[in-house]
Amino acid sequence: MMLQVIATYLIGIFLLIGALFALVGAIGLLKFNDSMTRLHAPTKVGTLGVGAILFGSMIYFYTYGEGSIHELLIMAFLFATAPISANFIAKVFIHRQACEPPPAPDRDETWSTLDVSEFEAEKETSKP
């Protein structure tokens, strides 16, 4: 009986956390100016807010009914796909030049190859 009371409070806490993230995500979606900054708010709701609500649902079904792992599978799918889709959406905005692109990296031909820079070659030849 005491376990059910604790579980009820935990369920309520997780539902409130999920609702709070949903509220913050909705406010962020309305308040931010352009699409790139608006992209940040719903992705947090999709992972943290829905994850908290699903965790509350898991606690409920393990306490008051038959336990199931459906919520765990949904959370794993959301945590894997939401950041990837947000990254692709951001890349589309950059590719279409709908926003300011990030600064260009420094020129370096050796970072992904087996070539050795002149500095490294000099260090290798000057070793005793």
3-state SS, residue 53: helix
pLDDT at 116 over 70: no
pTM across the whole model: 0.67
Q: Which two tokens stand for residue 4?
A: 């059910």
Residue type, 53: I
What span, in angstroms and rounded, lies between the C-alpha atoms of 66 and 61? 6
The predicted structure's pLDDT at residue 101: 66
55-114 tens-digit pLDDT: 999 999 999 888 788 888 998 898 888 888 888 888 887 777 766 666 776 766 666 666
Of residues 43, 48, 124, the one with CA closest to residue 90: 43
